[in-house]
Every structure is written in C-alpha cells, then in structure tokens.
Amino acid sequence: MTWNLYNRLIEGYDWSYDSDGVSGERLAKRLDAIAQIGLTKEAGSHRPGFSLEEKEAKELVAQWMREAGLDVRHDGAGNVFGRLAGKNDEKPALLSGSHLDSVPNGGHFDGPLGVLAALEVAEAWRETGFQPEQPYEVVVFTDEEGSRFNGGFHGSEAVVGNVDIETKLNLTDYNGADFSEVLEEVGLSVDGYVGAERSAEEIEMFVEVHIEQGKQLERENLPCGIVTGIAGPCWLEFTFTGEAGHAGNTPMEDRKDALVAASEFIGAVNTLPAGISETAVATVGKIDNTPNGVNVIPGSVTLYVDIRDIFKETRDELVTQVLAMADKVAEKHNVSVSHDEKMRVAPVPINKDLQKLLAASSQERNITPYYLPSGAGHDAMIIGAKWPVAMLFTQSKDGTSHNPDEWSDLNDCVQPIHVLKDFLEKASDG
C-alpha cells in the first residue's frame, strides 16, 4: 500500500474550518504531494538544500502559484516568489512563506506548512474576490535547514544581501562539491546568487507560519501562538587540556584530568541560563575526548556550547558567564582551557505592534492569544535584519521535529491560516 499523508491528515478534520475560501482538503493534498518528493523508506523527507528534490518541490509549488493567479519568478539563489498585485501596486509588498528543503529523513511540516499557509491565503482571496491594498508575495526560500553545507539560510541571506561570497565559495558539501558546483547542479550561478538581493523599499514586512517544534501550545491546548522573538545562537568551542597518563599508576591527587574538568563545566553550564533570563538556554551537544582509552586519563577534551536567547543583551551576558565559568573550572582542576567563537547571530525580537495585530486576528478566530519565544532559527530571523517580521507557531504533537514522526493535526494547521489571512488583511488596510 502506498504511503499517504493526505488520508491521515483528513481523518478527524473539522470541516467547519473550511470557510472564507480556505480549504483544509486542498492543504492536506498539497502537504501530501510535497511529502512524496524525497520520501524515505522510513516515511520521512529527504530534500536537502540545492538538491534536485528541493528543486522539484519548488517547481510544484510554482505551478500551484500560477494556478492561483500569481505572477511567478525565480531569483538567482533559487528562491521562488509568487506575486499578487495590490490595488496600489507601487506600495512595498507583504511577504509570507517559508522553505521546502529538509534535514535528512526529516518531517513533512517543518517549512512546507509555512509555504502552503501563505499560498492558501492567496487561494482564499482568489475565491472570495479580495484584493489587498498592496502587493502580496508568497515566497519559498532555498536551503533553510543547511544540511548540504552544515549551515543554512542561503536563500534568505541572498534576499537580504547578507552574503560573504568568499566564505561561501570555500564551502564543500557532503559529496565534496564546492558551493559553485552545487549551484550549477540546479541551474544556478554564483553571479546570480550574489544578485538576488532585494532593495529595502520593495518589502514592507515578512510573516512566517511554522510548526512550534516544542510542547507549549500542546500543553495549552491551542492551535497556534504568537512568537515574541527568535533566539540568536552563539556557538563556542572549548578545549580543556590536561595531561594524559596511566589510569592505574597515576595517583588521584597528581592528575590533570581534562574530562573531569570538562564534566564539571558541562554541569555548570546547565545552571547558568536560569540566572540570566527565562528565555535563555545553553546546551553542550558535542564532545570529543582524547585519547579516549579505557585505561588512559583523558588529556584533552573539546566540546561545543550552543547559547541562545531572544534578547541580545542577555544572550551576550550568558556568553560572558560561560566563558568565566570555563576559566574558573580549569583553574580549579589545574588544566588549561581555550575557546573559539564559531558563530554569533543577533536575536530578532518581534515588533510589539505586529504581535498585537496577530493577537487581534487570533481573537477574531476565537483563539486565545498565547505568546512564546522561538529557540530555533528560521528564515524570519535572517529577513528580520532588514525588514519587520512576525511569526505564528502551529501546535506540534509531542514537540517532535526533524524526524518522520513530526506531526501537526490538520485542524491545528488550518486555524493559523485563518489568523494569517486576517492579519494580512488588517496589515494591508493599515
């Protein structure tokens, strides 16, 4: 029997949510059609950025855009834009959308839901004869997840113009192909990629619908929530260096055990965020122990700390405290420590007025406004460096994401589309 996402989605769907031109059935069919592209044997998604599978999915969405009456164009980064003319088409555009690429063996809602939610608004306007005051664009960004080059947001970075092309040209993918070769594989070029930037005057704001990838909305029994800010990550690499030695012949008091020091540091890192802010987090997710022998005292340990918050000041304060803790622990255990900052991205707080507008649109649908931060990065984080952004989260079952068990009920997927539609109509009138 052929795997079918549509049948599972439509089971138990409340057809009363089909109103004002919004169709849950159409959304379910389209989620299923995208899921079939790059479908894995575990019933997951495999559409890496800049892959032929991602390109096929984008072409399918471009076809749906045309059928909805949108003017479609592809830019030099592979981003797809479907434009609906506004009554005053000279005004800057309202943008909404997300991405279609996936992590290896990922889920079927992370990215595609945001793209199809934005498209469903255009479909609803076409069916009800509504035209916004200003142009509206549905956007599909290229390579958000970053599984191709261990770093994503290539499409949205090109739109913003945040492109360090020399750094990108030095990237190689999991097959050993460099950035320019990968672009050529899908019909793109380096010059086209660099030329994909859009001027500030073209766009008024961007709003993204995305699955929560957490459990807060499920606990509150709400279909969607309003994002207050997108956390900016800082990645730090630490190396604790002690002295390797024989596990049997070296007395306990005469050891310089790098792993003991690193272990105390890891435990301390876990306690620091609570003293900074309620939205700050810090995670040690990768560790390398050398020489990693059963009967050898660890001489060197390298680990990575991922530090995030939605506010730059508190995120950076947490970074400072983590660095100080590393020095303190190293001194206590008579080892040395060094660090290297791998990445520091500015957090993006969401404009309070846009949050209020989303709250008003939620209340229009009898949905209690619920506010929550985004710990994960999204294209909205990149776009937010140049234009105002807003985000709606959709409830995720068990908070599961980035694997085939990722799931959002169709009822919970359709309701934020109504909120998005109302929000965009209010924003256009304003």
Q: Smallest Cα–Cα separation from 100: which of 26, 192, 37?
A: 37
As a whole number of angstroms, the distance between CA 344 and CA 212 comes to 23
Q: Do residues 25 and 125 make contact, with C-beta atoms less than 8 angstroms apart?
A: no
The β-bridge relationship of strands 296-297 and 371-374 is: unpaired
Alpha-carbon Rg for the chain, nearest whole angstrom, is 24
Rounded to an integer, what distance in angstroms lies between the CA atom of residue 276 and that of residue 278? 7
The DSSP secondary-structure symbol of 362 reads: H
For the chain, helix (H) and strand (E) counts, in that order, are: 14, 15
Written as six digits, the tokens of 347 are: 């957090």
Q: Are 69 and 84 in contact (CB under 8 A)?
A: yes
Crossing angle of the two packed helices 258-271 and 312-332, in degrees rounded to 10: 150
How far is Cα 227 from Cα 374, in angstroms, rounded to an integer? 6
Contact, 179 vs 191, CB < 8 A? Answer: no
Length of the chain counted residue by residue: 430
Residues 160, 172: Cα–Cα separation, whole Å: 23
Please, are residues 221 and 100 in contact by the beta-carbon 8 Å criterion?
A: no
333 is known to lie in a ligand binding site = no
The answer to whether the annotation marks 90 as part of a ligand binding site is no
Q: Where are the beta strands (DSSP E) in 10-103?
A: 71-74, 80-84, 93-99
Q: Identify whether 291 is preceded by a cis peptide bond (ω within 30 of 0).
A: yes
Residue 152 CB partners (closer than 8 Å, separation 6+):
49, 143, 144, 145, 146, 377
Residue 372's SS3 state is: strand
Q: Which residues pair with 160 in a beta bridge?
A: none
**Extended strands (E) in 165-202:** none
Taking the C-alpha atoms of residue 274 and residue 268, their distance in angstroms, rounded to an integer, is: 11
Please tell me whether 210 is known to bind a ligand.
Answer: yes
CA-to-CA distance for 321 and 317, rounded, in angstroms? 6
Does 220 carry a binding-site annotation?
no
- In 3-state terms, what secondary structure has residue 300? strand
d(CA 33, CA 27): 10
Question: Is 246 annotated to bind ligand?
Answer: no
Report the binding-site residues.
Answer: 99, 110, 145, 210, 402
Binding-site positions for Zn(2+): 99, 110, 145, 210, 402
